[in-house]
Chains A and B, each alone.
Chain A
């Protein structure tokens, strides 16, 4: 049975960047099957499959699609958008999929667009992903040539165009409503929700935004069915996922593993454990905007709700490992600098709070911190909590900070007491 639907074409021997090999390997079967189905059945199937968005928030994908108005009285124009802005620190999964198996994404998007009755789709790719962009452009052209995209696809009355939009930097573009503004050629400032994009999105039309990896799950889910898909998971969540590990481990990398694979297995088995002489001090389970977890959490399965209950988020599923020779204050400072710089500048706590946090952390790291700085940092992190800011960037920025203040409090205190960074 197929257990690695996302990466079955990816491997040293088995490239499928061109359409011939992709199709030889069974590609576009899902698409062909989908075209014979009713769009709403696809939505239902995806919902039943239990696929949760891989962009970070983990929302049920089929459920999200079901909010798109359909039927005669619904707006005639709808859009599908692929979020390929991957910019979260420590996240390197979408790049792999796009560079190594671009047709999988195209196929997934085609099925999804059909399901929500969109006839235009965009891939919003970050400007730095040159190779991925080139491969996708080629893949789109090939698919068009084969009649898999374009007008009256495979003789049906369904038509679809996919366009690639290269962005020009800025992490906030990954936030789906900011992304829509960017696509419209405006400043990528997030939009208020409600209305959600499914109701009023791109140019005010119903729009679905999904992550690259989310789309890549679709073709096989359609082809093999929801039961198969659910069975891929080892724990509560369905399907498989790309997990990655970076930091000072022996063998950093990305692997497709069942949902629910325990953290320890990923770090110790796949990533080869810590480099010689180093201990794991903590880890960010799903990218730079998740809370730190400690060694006591190593046995948790990588499932959305489990990691959530432990006080963090599964996020993008790409783990950043913090070792005992790396300064946690420095790491949090680095992350905060990133978020401060990437703030869109719209709402106060994020725009003005983050640079302040950066300055406090800088002082602590330089040995000029004051004991009261820690309370100030906690207060700041709390002020940036969910719902307090306009979008989720600031709450994301608060997560590593607030958890580090708990988990590594002693390190902060040591910095302040000793008047220097003990790690240097």
Chain B
């Protein structure tokens, strides 16, 4: 929930309904290996919780209830404690997100430079509001605090790549390219 911009009705527990079962999916070998590597960096195992969530999310796109339980079981951290951390950090996604997550900077400098217009543009184009994912599962739009590129405002980040000094027409181009990329990929 923490990843999605605040609705008036709080959905902290929304996801828990989807996953009433208690099946504990296990972590993949790759995930385990990456998490194990973190162990040595910390004074205690419990501290690796957030890192582990981040690693699992990297592999799976988001943290489902099953993933949460898997991490909990692997690290022997009570699941509620892990949830407490997972729901605290906004980059841990407790709901599914699209293949491309658009982080649109909404902070002061970008606001002065017109990020609201970009947002309208994206919303129009993808027909989603912040916190939502397109029906084809390609894009999720998130509002994000200052991305630290204020001299090139307005900016956004898609996945890990930065887009700077944006205009509305840039949005068209970037999104169309992304769409095309994914179409090509699935055609292959």
| Alpha-carbon separation in the docked complex, A341 to B109 (Å) | 17
- In contact, B148 and A168 (Cβ under 8 angstroms): no
| A217 at the B interface (CB under 8 A) | no
B57-86 interface code vs A (CB 8 A; 1 in, 0 out): 000000000000000000000000000110
Q: Nearest CB to that of B144 among chain A residues?
A: A128
CB distance from B4 to the nearest CB of A (A): 12
| A165 at the B interface (CB under 8 A) | yes
- In contact, B90 and A90 (Cβ under 8 angstroms): no
CB distance from B59 to the nearest CB of A (A): 15
Interface centre among B6, B42, B89, B145 (most CB of A within 10 A): B145
Q: Interface with B: A81-89, A190-198, A407-415, which one?
A: A81-89
- For B47, the chain A residues whose CB sits under 8 A away are 183-185, 203
- In contact, B89 and A246 (Cβ under 8 angstroms): no
Q: Interface with B: A3-11, A17-25, A43-51, A329-337, which one?
A: A329-337
Other-chain contact of B91, A122, A127, A183 (Cβ < 8 Å): A127
| A129 at the B interface (CB under 8 A) | yes
- In contact, B108 and A90 (Cβ under 8 angstroms): yes
Other-chain contact of B108, A165, A203, A334, A341 (Cβ < 8 Å): A334
- In contact, B43 and A171 (Cβ under 8 angstroms): no
Other-chain contact of A320, B85, B89, B109, B152 (Cβ < 8 Å): B109
- In contact, B106 and A334 (Cβ under 8 angstroms): yes
- In contact, B151 and A341 (Cβ under 8 angstroms): no
CB distance from B74 to the nearest CB of A (A): 14
- In contact, A92 and B112 (Cβ under 8 angstroms): no
A162-185 interface code vs B (CB 8 A; 1 in, 0 out): 010111111100000000001111
Other-chain contact of B111, A92, A95, A122, A331 (Cβ < 8 Å): A331
A338-382 interface code vs B (CB 8 A; 1 in, 0 out): 100110000000000000000000000000000000000000000
| A322 at the B interface (CB under 8 A) | yes
- In contact, B148 and A182 (Cβ under 8 angstroms): no
Q: Interface with B: A103-111, A247-255, A383-391, which one?
A: A247-255
- In contact, A252 and B108 (Cβ under 8 angstroms): no
- For B54, the chain A residues whose CB sits under 8 A away are 127, 166, 168
Q: A128-B157, A182-B50 are in contact. Are A87 and B145 (CB under 8 A)?
A: yes
| Alpha-carbon separation in the docked complex, A254 to B106 (Å) | 20
- For B41, the chain A residues whose CB sits under 8 A away are 122, 161, 163, 165
| Alpha-carbon separation in the docked complex, A247 to B154 (Å) | 10
| Alpha-carbon separation in the docked complex, A326 to B106 (Å) | 15
| A245 at the B interface (CB under 8 A) | yes
A: which residues have CB within 8 A of B?
77, 86-92, 94-95, 122, 126-131, 161, 163, 165-171, 182-188, 202-203, 244-248, 252-254, 284, 288, 318, 320, 322-323, 326, 330-331, 334-335, 337-338, 341-342
